[in-house]
């Protein structure tokens, strides 16, 4: 099961690169905020259809959950705006490696302290080395 989830996560990452590649040109043609809105609009419509057919009918109300858990939508919009602005200027590879560096850095902190109800996973040397290699990759791509 873990291997399948890893494959799905890698595929999801590939999808984010495609999204960045699409958003840059779209943002230049229709405006950055309209491009961001289009991504969320299409995504919301698809998610709504999936919810209609696959969501359990007795699920707890979304609005009964703590408000801080809904801030992911704000973070997601910020992420897509950054993709839309950065990709045409610095390219898909540099954008995605930079995003990855930020994600891994913050993920290490979240895991280490068990923030947001996640299991504790201590920062160890291997995890730090992984982050260092990502930063080296960012520097190498920046120099090319």
With a CB cutoff of 8 Å and minimum separation 6, the contacts of 125 are: none
Instruction: Quote the mean pLDDT of the chain.
Output: 92
The pLDDT value recorded for residue 71 is: 86
Per the domain annotation, does 126 fall within a domain?
A: yes
Residue 144's pLDDT band, with cuts at 50, 70 and 90, is confident
Query: Over 90: is that where the pLDDT of 7 sits?
Result: yes
Query: DSSP assignment, residue 118?
Result: P
| Structural domain harbouring 91 | 2-57+70-143
pLDDT at 72: 85
Q: Could you tell me the pLDDT band of residue 17, with boundaries at 50, 70 and 90? A: very high
* 123 in any annotated domain: yes
97 — pLDDT class (breaks 50, 70, 90) = very high
Q: For residue 43, how many other CB atoms are within 10 A of its CB?
A: 13
Domain count across the chain: 1
Is there a domain that residue 63 lies in? no
Which whole-number Å values give the CA distances from 2 to 5, 7, 8, 126, in the listed order?
A: 5, 9, 10, 20
């Amino acid at each position: 099961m873990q291997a399948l989830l890893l494959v799905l996560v890698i595929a999801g990452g590939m999808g984010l690169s495609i999204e960045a590649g699409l958003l840059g040109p779209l943002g230049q043609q229709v405006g950055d905020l309209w491009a961001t809105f289009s991504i969320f609009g299409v995504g919301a419509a698809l998610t709504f259809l999936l919810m209609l057919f696959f969501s359990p009918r007795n699920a707890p109300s979304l609005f009964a959950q703590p408000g801080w858990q809904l801030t992911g939508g704000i973070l997601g919009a910020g992420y897509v705006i950054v993709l839309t602005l950065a990709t045409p200027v610095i390219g898909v590879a540099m954008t995605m490696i930079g995003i990855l560096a930020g994600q891994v850095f913050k993920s290490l902190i979240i895991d280490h302290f068990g923030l947001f109800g996640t299991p504790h996973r201590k920062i160890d040397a291997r995890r730090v080395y992984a982050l260092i290699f990502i930063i080296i990759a960012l520097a190498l791509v920046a120099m090319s």
